[in-house]
Structure 1
Amino acid sequence: MPIEVGIWKVNDEIKKVTFSPIESERKLEKILVKDLSILSDDLLLIGRQVQTDYGKFIDMLAIDEEGNLHIIELKKNRTPREVVAQAVDYASWVQNLSYDRILKIYEEKNHGPLEEAFAEKFDNALPEKLNDSHQIMIVSSQLDSETERIINYLSNNFDVPINAVFFRYFEESDQQFITRSWLLDPNIVEEKSSNTKVESKKENWNKQDFVVNFEDGKYRNWGDAVRYGFVSAGNGRWYSKTLNQLFVGARIFCMIPKSGYVGIGKVIEAAKPIKDVVFSIDGQEK
């Protein structure tokens, strides 16, 4: 059973703060969209109402720092069988999402690149591989015994990485509070999610070779890059920051998006701001 939460106001006198059912799961969804850290500090929202290929909509889809996906489904007055079955159905679709598809979903929902948002949230570059595993979270304002039984059955007998979290809503004068309780220990669910991972057949990285995307267009020109021997990035903190991972002696494979690989090079100077870069042109340094 989830832990029952009570709140008491302690001033000159001790007074219990009364619980009331949160107005609706829709209000709860708005709260979570505004600040997903209420659910977990380790999640970045990819999008809400994400449409699957089967015409259904996932309430919220998020990603953690490891690049794993989290399906967040609000109960919204549905029966336990409906909400759990729907969430498992979504998981069957999510497990096959490719790296590029995840980037596209984020961009469509947020009108910006996932790479930059990820770096801003986690202060780290987006992992080379996404969606190694996934988790399911059922979110509700109250947790009924039937939902609890189903989730425990799936988790204990089939190692399905599923959990439930419910929020209690309290009011005191003009102040409002919500509390959070998990049905299962999130660390245990995290362990079960590793069972959904597919063993990678990819060779281990040699820590010497890098792929560099070069956006040939408005801000930089591939012809100039070849002529003067440089690669560049910008128009976002993440893009500039990732160039700092290149070290003198590293080998780069340069790729123009939607065109393919266009060149191979070797790093002879560390990254620096463009205002500090000097090229030798016709015997003159500029």
Structure 2
Amino acid sequence: MPVEMGIWRMDGDRPHRLSPTTMPTEVMLEEFLERDPSLLGDRLLVIGRQVRTPYQKLIDLLAVDAEGNLHVLELKRDRTPRDVVAQVLDYGSWVTTLDHESIIDLANGHLDRPFETAFEEVFGTPPPDELNGALTLVVVATDLDPSSERIVTYLREFGVPVNVVFFTFLEDDGRRYLARSWLAASEEGATGVGTSPRNYQGKRAEWNGTDWFVSFGEEGTRSWDDGRRFGFISAGGGTWYSGSLHNLPVGARVNVHIPKSGYVAIGEVLRPATRFDQASVLVDGKWVHLADQELSAPYRHGPPGVADSDDDAEYAVPVRWWVSVPRSEAFWVKGMFANQNSACKLRQEFTLPGWPSISDWTGRRKPTESGG
């Protein structure tokens, strides 16, 4: 049974218990949760309300936590026990298929500011490299019949990440109160599933310790033709863009992706990231100053004649290419990993290629599809 929450008002030495009353509407509760999802006990960012699935169903609220994991919040309303549990499981089966780009699109369609900005405002850090590594399903209710409780408890025993949160509405002397309790407590936070004996592990794969994803955005300030010719990757225009390049260790295998095109190269990091105007690259077996080469892009972010600050400067990482192709021959298949960060660990096995040659790579290419 869920923990019953009692609230008493102290009148001198005598406690006076507040009596619960009927919630005006569950729509009001949904609005409360959208405005302040911390009512659930965890910090969450709501990225969608009444989210339409491909099956013409509407998810009440979709949220993300600081780890990038998704939370489906579904109000019980007047549905039967079987209906509400089946509905939240159905929603979960679809939400687990959402890739990084789809989640960003959903969030940007709901929020009044870019997802990255909203995430950092709520959690104090940029979004993680990967989103949707794990899922939590939450039924929001003002009461729960024994049948629903029995079903949810049984599912949790088998590691299904589902829980029920109860809200009680109280009034006292003109003041209104909202009390919360959970069907099952958790070691991993209010909405987690840490106490389940067969704990849900999510779908985030282990990192192999070698492969990194790198986004090479051209956008007029840099050119993939240069990067391919002289052996480097670069990013800049702010620490949010260049900072992750400093995480690349020497010897790392980088899988280079051009946004909206696809993957164009696999290579090995030769040296750590340095300012572009100080970087060297390996050309014909010799280290040469990168900025002295015949480049087709400016690799600058400030006004002409003014040196970029360290925060705004372009940074470059020298790379030995194992395989590389022009942008026009980029490789992309729907479902491959893509990310807005300049560099992050690449875990997704579907993307990890291991292609030994350009001919093998281009032989698998599907030119009709474009990368995220």
Normalising by the smaller structure, the TM-score range is 0.7 to 0.9
Determine whether 1:78 maps to 2:79: yes
Determine whether 1:232 maps to 2:232: no
Q: Secondary structure at the match of 2:87?
A: helix
* Cα distance in 2, alignment partners of residues 250 and 160 from structure 1: 38
Q: Give the equivalent residue in structure 1 for 2:275.
A: 269
Q: Give the equivalent residue in structure 2 for 1:258.
A: 260
Q: Which runs of 5+ in 2 are unaligned?
A: 277-300, 314-372
Q: Secondary structure at the match of 1:247?
A: helix
Paired letter, 1:84: V
Displacement, 1:195?
2.7
Q: State the identity %.
A: 36
Determine whether 1:200 maps to 2:225: no
Q: Give the equivalent residue in structure 2 for 1:178.
A: 178
Displacement, 1:268?
1.8
Equivalenced residues, count: 266
Determine whether 1:10 maps to 2:1: no
* Change in 2 beyond 3 A, CA 1:248/1:194: closer
* Cα distance in 1, alignment partners of residues 152 and 47 from structure 2: 25
Paired letter, 2:186: P
* Cα distance in 1, alignment partners of residues 126 and 69 from structure 2: 14
* Change in 2 beyond 3 A, CA 1:194/1:178: same
* Cα distance in 2, alignment partners of residues 183 and 21 from structure 1: 20
Displacement, 1:244?
3.0
Q: Secondary structure at the match of 1:222?
A: coil
Q: Give the equivalent residue in structure 2 for 1:169.
A: 169
* Cα distance in 2, alignment partners of residues 249 and 197 from structure 1: 26
* Cα distance in 2, alignment partners of residues 211 and 59 from structure 1: 35
Q: Give the equivalent residue in structure 2 for 1:190.
A: 194
* Cα distance in 1, alignment partners of residues 307 and 169 from structure 2: 55
Q: Give the equivalent residue in structure 1 for 2:46.
A: 45
Question: TM-score, with normalisation over the residues of structure 1?
Answer: 0.78
For the 8 Å contact 1:161–1:190, the answer to whether it is kept is no
* Change in 2 beyond 3 A, CA 1:39/1:205: farther
Question: TM-score, with normalisation over the residues of structure 2?
Answer: 0.62
Determine whether 1:247 maps to 2:246: yes
Q: Give the equivalent residue in structure 2 for 1:132.
A: 133
Displacement, 1:27?
0.9
Displacement, 1:49?
0.8
Paired letter, 1:126: P
* Change in 2 beyond 3 A, CA 1:181/1:205: farther
Larger Rg: 2
Paired letter, 2:115: L
* Cα distance in 2, alignment partners of residues 100 and 249 from structure 1: 23
* Change in 2 beyond 3 A, CA 1:197/1:143: same
For the 8 Å contact 1:168–1:180, the answer to whether it is kept is yes
Q: Give the equivalent residue in structure 1 for 2:222.
A: 222
Determine whether 1:154 maps to 2:151: no
Q: Give the equivalent residue in structure 1 for 2:319.
A: none
Displacement, 1:159?
2.1
For the 8 Å contact 1:9–1:16, the answer to whether it is kept is yes
1:234-284 alpha-carbon deviations (Å, 9 max, x no partner): 6xxxxx4353344398688775421446899973239xx9576179xxxxx
Q: Give the equivalent residue in structure 2 for 1:97.
A: 98
RMSD of aligned C-alpha atoms?
A: 3.4
* Change in 2 beyond 3 A, CA 1:197/1:130: same
* Change in 2 beyond 3 A, CA 1:180/1:249: closer
* Change in 2 beyond 3 A, CA 1:15/1:160: same
